[in-house]
Amino acid sequence: DVKVTQSSRYLVKRTGEKVFLECVQDMDHENMFWYRQDPGLGLRLIYFSYDVKMKEKGDIPEGYSVSREKKERFSLILESASTNQTSMYLCASSLGGLLGNEKLFFGSGTQLSVL
């Protein structure tokens, strides 16, 4: 089975801190995604990547950046954390190719609290 591992299950940070959320997948997937999940708002796409060193903005990229130096690792960076970035962050990966054949594999999430 595909395994998508997020480094932390719970994280507490202070306003203004630089925060790194790490995600690793073990199936040589081309595509990786970062979503945030908030009650009543569903999943919203922050950034995604289709190749190493390639990134593209999703629907809510403001306040975030990403890094993909190696195929298996996709990092989400909060340059200066703010309280409105308190959320559940979900990483996902997929094999790549035709969308009709696609299936996203999700990590178990990182619950970030910014105080």
Name which of 66 and 81 has its Cβ closer to other proteins. Answer: 66
The CB-of-3 to other proteins minimum distance in angstroms stands at 11
Residue of 35, 47, 74, 89 that binds other proteins (CB under 8 A): 35
Q: How far apart are the first and last CA of the chain?
A: 36
The CB-of-16 to other proteins minimum distance in angstroms stands at 30
Q: Considering only the stretches 18-26, 63-71, 73-81, 88-96, report the one whose residues sit in contact with other proteins under the rule CB under 8 A.
A: 88-96
Task: Check residue 27 for interaction with other proteins (CB under 8 A).
Answer: no
Q: What is the DSSP letter of 72?
A: T
Residue of 52, 102, 113, 115 that binds other proteins (CB under 8 A): 102
CA nearest neighbour of 90 among 49, 52, 43, 57: 43
Tell me the β-bridge partners of 78: 19, 64
Beta pairing, strands 54-57 & 19-25: unpaired
The CB-of-17 to other proteins minimum distance in angstroms stands at 26
